[in-house]
Chains A and B, each alone.
Chain A
Amino acid sequence: MVIGERKPFDEIMRMAEGLKKIMVLGCGGCVTVCLTGGHDEVRVLSSQLRMARDKAGNPIEIIEKTIERQCDPEYVDQVESIVPEVDAVFSMACGAGVQFMAEKYTGKPVYPSLNTTFVGGSKKEGYYVERCQTCGECKLYYTGGICPIARCSKSLLNGPCGGSTKGKCEIDPDVDCAWQLIIDRLKSLGMMDRYEDIMPANDWRTNRDGGPRKMIREDFQR
């Protein structure tokens, strides 16, 4: 899933400066699962904003709403009647959701309340880790199911570098060395011969380096 973290409150307050009425819009997708942008978080942020603005003697009116997904026009359409009533929308979705809202409601400022951080999963409740960089050409077959692009700090395809110490990355003793994990895994699978194959220079065209990407299912385009 896409992981997001709420922006610092002061930054959200600055974006809301001069606004009298806003909608705080949650998303029922990934950011609900990672506990940063769903129904409950909409309530918390809205309360915080109201309190802070009341305290400053400059109250703000807030409509709270959460839709199924903000990255889908079908659901984005559902707030059509509310958007004209507000000065701006504060989206609690990932960057994709914010932009889908902005694309639909062209005359209305749509502001992000989260920083979209990475594609990953939860190790346990409230603990999220990065696993994929969406490079567009999955290499997990070669690397024992552990991604060097997402998990090696230098994205080395023929690692590990000389900074790997006791299974940890040179940048931080709390970060696992992805190549130590890959080697341990290849060894346990009896596939160490794969280590000696040189991975050629990557074709980054499938990554964002090829420009913004799209995926089209032709059979659905009729």
Chain B
Amino acid sequence: MSVECKTDSRLEKILRSGQFAVTGECGPPRGADPEVIRKKCGLLKNNADAFNITDNQTSVVRMSSISSSVIMMQEGLEPVMQMVCRDRNRIAIQSDILGGAALGVKNMLCLSGDHQKFGDHPAAKNVFDLDSIQLIHAVRTMRDEGKFMGGDEVKGVPKLFIGAAENPFADPFEIRVPRLAKKVAAGVEFIQTQCIFNLKKFGEWMKGVVDRGLHEKVFVLGGVTPFKSFGMARYMANNVPGMDVPEELLKRMKDTPKEKQAEEGIKIAVETIQQLREMKGISGVHIMAIEWEEKVGEIAQKAGLLPRPTV
């Protein structure tokens, strides 16, 4: 992997210097109060290298990813601006890429986006002018070739470190490595995976990634989500599309007394991180503590990932 950084991203510097990276996540509020983000930033600060700011996740209207990213930067944290293809056409997407970069955003995550059916505006029209792979290619071309999708010159290229997501647990399994290869061919530089609960299956996918040499072309960060309770584990197993929660984990949560379940969830997350660190081709972890930001530090601490390096 090239050690030469193409952006000023701290996340890129850590990954390219060969250090194990940690990213976290911060969901913007359903209102215009910036203090919600500032408070979450206080909980997250110094516990990871960069933090994803979700873009209307699960198709529920929230404060925009760009503005939340700016608030996060004011607090001294580095955001990973998520961008979904559901809500914007290529004109708005490229415009927002320029805007985000101009405001100081240094990382971007390219996603297709959840279908609006899941959200609070199921009657909305979806866009999907581009898909995530075409979005990766668009931002990479803007940055490295200085060209808009339409072919005109970009005057002042957006220096963004380019990421995407991949779900090794979605079907059909056999195309999940080829699909990553397509994202790499499109120009992605780092990948955050879907929450890993089934380590065996993840290991199979990762082996495929390494066998194709993709781990030498893209940084793979394994996704880790702590269960708050057995109820949450069961919900994720049964109600979240593309999620693979093995029976033994469910049983482990179920057999834990209710007041100890949160602690057990964190223990599982820490064990997962430890196993991921042993896995060939893994460059970091992405800790998604959903509406549980205060636990990211504890998980990182227990997994031996603190303090974070200064670069």
A residues near B (Cβ < 8 Å) are 153-167, 170-172, 177, 180, 183-184, 195-196, 198-202, 204
A167 to chain B, nearest CB (A): 6
A86 to chain B, nearest CB (A): 35
Interface residues of B in 111-139 (CB under 8 A from A): 112-115, 117-118, 126, 128-134, 137-138
Contact of A155 among B113, B128, B165 (CB under 8 A): B128
Complexed CA–CA distance, A150 and B171 (Å): 20
Tell me if B31 counts as interface (CB < 8 A to partner A): no
A152 to chain B, nearest CB (A): 9
The 3 closest A-B pairs by CB, nearest first: A162-B167, A170-B241, A163-B241
Given that A154-B115, A162-B242 are known contacts, is A198 also in contact with B171, CB under 8 Å in the complex? no
Complexed CA–CA distance, A77 and B59 (Å): 49
Interface residues of B in 161-194 (CB under 8 A from A): 165-167, 170-172, 174-175, 178-179, 181-182, 185-186, 194
Contact of A158 among B134, B166, B172 (CB under 8 A): B134
Contact of B138 among A160, A164, A165, A201 (CB under 8 A): A201
B185 to chain A, nearest CB (A): 6
B16 to chain A, nearest CB (A): 25
Given that A163-B242, A165-B241 are known contacts, is A158 also in contact with B175, CB under 8 Å in the complex? no
Q: Is the CB of A160 within 8 A of B128?
A: no
Please give, as numbers and ranges, the residues of chain A lying within 8 Å of B117 by CB-CB distance: 153, 171-172
Please give, as numbers and ranges, the residues of chain B lying within 8 Å of A165 by CB-CB distance: 170-171, 241-242
Please give, as numbers and ranges, the residues of chain A lying within 8 Å of B114 by CB-CB distance: 163, 170
Q: Is the CB of A157 within 8 A of B134?
A: yes
A161 to chain B, nearest CB (A): 5
B114 to chain A, nearest CB (A): 7
B residues near A (Cβ < 8 Å) are 85-86, 90, 112-115, 117-118, 126, 128-134, 137-138, 149, 165-167, 170-172, 174-175, 178-179, 181-182, 185-186, 194, 241-242
Complexed CA–CA distance, A170 and B170 (Å): 10
Q: Is the CB of B242 within 8 A of A183?
A: no
Please give, as numbers and ranges, the residues of chain A lying within 8 Å of B166 by CB-CB distance: 162
Please give, as numbers and ranges, the residues of chain A lying within 8 Å of B118 by CB-CB distance: 170-171
Complexed CA–CA distance, A158 and B118 (Å): 22
Q: Is the CB of B242 within 8 A of A198?
A: no
Complexed CA–CA distance, A157 and B135 (Å): 12
Other A-B contacts than A157-B131, A160-B170, A196-B181, 16 sampled, CB-CB below 8 A, are A154-B128, A159-B131, A161-B112, A162-B166, A162-B241, A163-B170, A163-B241, A164-B241, A166-B171, A167-B172, A196-B178, A198-B133, A198-B137, A198-B185, A201-B129, A204-B129
Q: Is the CB of A200 within 8 A of B134?
A: yes
Q: Is the CB of B131 within 8 A of A154?
A: yes
Please give, as numbers and ranges, the residues of chain A lying within 8 Å of B186 by CB-CB distance: 198
Which residue on chain A has the smallest CB distance to residue B122? A171
Which residue on chain B has the smallest CB distance to residue A157? B131
Please give, as numbers and ranges, the residues of chain B lying within 8 Å of A170 by CB-CB distance: 114-115, 118, 241-242
A99 to chain B, nearest CB (A): 22
B209 to chain A, nearest CB (A): 15
Q: Is the CB of A201 within 8 A of B115?
A: no
A103 to chain B, nearest CB (A): 27
**14 A-B Cβ contacts within 8 A?**
A153-B117, A160-B172, A161-B170, A162-B242, A163-B115, A163-B241, A164-B172, A164-B241, A164-B242, A165-B170, A165-B242, A171-B118, A198-B134, A201-B90
Contact of B115 among A153, A166, A167, A200 (CB under 8 A): A153
Complexed CA–CA distance, A143 and B185 (Å): 19
Which residue on chain A has the smallest CB distance to residue B134? A201
Complexed CA–CA distance, A49 and B86 (Å): 42
Contact of B182 among A154, A158, A172, A204 (CB under 8 A): A158
Please give, as numbers and ranges, the residues of chain B lying within 8 Å of A199 by CB-CB distance: 134
Complexed CA–CA distance, A130 and B182 (Å): 29
Please give, as numbers and ranges, the residues of chain B lying within 8 Å of A184 by CB-CB distance: 172
Q: Is the CB of A195 within 8 A of B115?
A: no
Q: Is the CB of A154 within 8 A of B90?
A: no
Complexed CA–CA distance, A154 and B112 (Å): 8
Complexed CA–CA distance, A154 and B131 (Å): 8
Given that A153-B115, A162-B194 are known contacts, is A195 also in contact with B131, CB under 8 Å in the complex? no
Complexed CA–CA distance, A166 and B241 (Å): 10
Complexed CA–CA distance, A158 and B130 (Å): 10
Which residue on chain B has the smallest CB distance to residue A170? B241
Complexed CA–CA distance, A162 and B115 (Å): 11
Complexed CA–CA distance, A152 and B266 (Å): 37
Which residue on chain B has the smallest CB distance to residue A166? B171
Q: Is the CB of B167 within 8 A of A156?
A: no
Instruction: Name the residue among A163, A166, A183 with the largest chain B CB count within 10 angstroms.
Output: A163
Please give, as numbers and ranges, the residues of chain A lying within 8 Å of B172 by CB-CB distance: 160, 164, 167, 180, 183-184
